[in-house]
Amino acid sequence: MFKKPIFLIALPVVAIAAAGLFLYVSNHGSRNGPRTDLIYNWFRDQSTLSEYWMSSGVLCGDAPFMFPTNGLVGFIWDDSFRPGHRHSGLDIFSGTAPGVTPIAAAYPGYLTRQPDWVSTVIIRVPQDPLEPARQIWVYYTHMADANGNSFVAPEFPQGTSEVFVEAGTFLGYQGNYSGDPNSPVGVHLHISIVKDDGFGNFLNELDIENTYDPSPYFGMPLNANTNTDTIPFCR
């Protein structure tokens, strides 16, 4: 497990981070339920919802995945940010500036970072802990600043392939990279559980049909079809 650094964050930095989060929702979010309303309000006032704050390393009940970073679970699997869009994972918001909040591997596996991946790594899990006969992939992204300066751990440069990592291995820091410096996202980690194509390759994570509901992996209600009004949380 990595050591959690302690950061003293100046108020102006927090204000900038909060503004980025608000921009994220204004540009990408849709207020489509009571739970989403609560998150929307938190983006504007981060003194709220402190009771739902999650810490890195938490294991919820007998679920196999540990929580990978510090923050609030904002958007979950199959949330809709705009007409026709279905969110393929979960977004965990730290409320800090880019490059501050560390991210850890939620489960052991073999890490790959493709040559053109600025802010992303993916970890192959040969045996799904819930369905040992199948292989899954765990995808982590937004680990860079708005201009594409990467926050991925230096141990995993672009082109890294099949490096084994334990659960808790430091992967990088939360960022706000979107691919467009003029339209950054709010600082967060997006994590999803991606299906294998049956030939040892991961499918396109952007299509929700290529991903699994993360709820049983983390032991929390992370499916927007069944959770419309509560913020996922576990101690």
Per-position b or e across 68-105, b if 16+ CB within 10 A of its CB: bbbbbbbbbbbbbbeeeeebbbbbbbbbbbbbbbbbbb
What tokens were used for 194?
């991606």
Asked if the structure places residue 183 within a domain, the reply is yes
**Which residue type, as a one-letter code, is found at position 22?**
F
- The domain that contains 168 carries what CATH number? 2.70.70.10
Q: If you average pLDDT over every residue of the chain, what do you get?
A: 88
Asked if the structure places residue 226 within a domain, the reply is no
Asked if the structure places residue 3 within a domain, the reply is no
- Residues 10-60 pLDDT 10s: 434 444 444 444 444 444 444 457 887 888 888 889 888 999 999 999 999
Asked if the structure places residue 6 within a domain, the reply is no
Q: Range of 193's domain?
A: 11-218
Asked if the structure places residue 113 within a domain, the reply is yes
Asked if the structure places residue 190 within a domain, the reply is yes
Confidence of residue 201 (pLDDT cuts 50, 70, 90): very high
Alpha carbons within 13 A on the beta-carbon side of 182: 0
Residue 84 pLDDT greater than 90, yes or no: no
The pTM assigned to this predicted structure is 0.86
Asked if the structure places residue 107 within a domain, the reply is yes
Asked if the structure places residue 154 within a domain, the reply is yes
Angle (CA) 150 55 226, round 5°:
95
Domains contained in the chain, number: 1
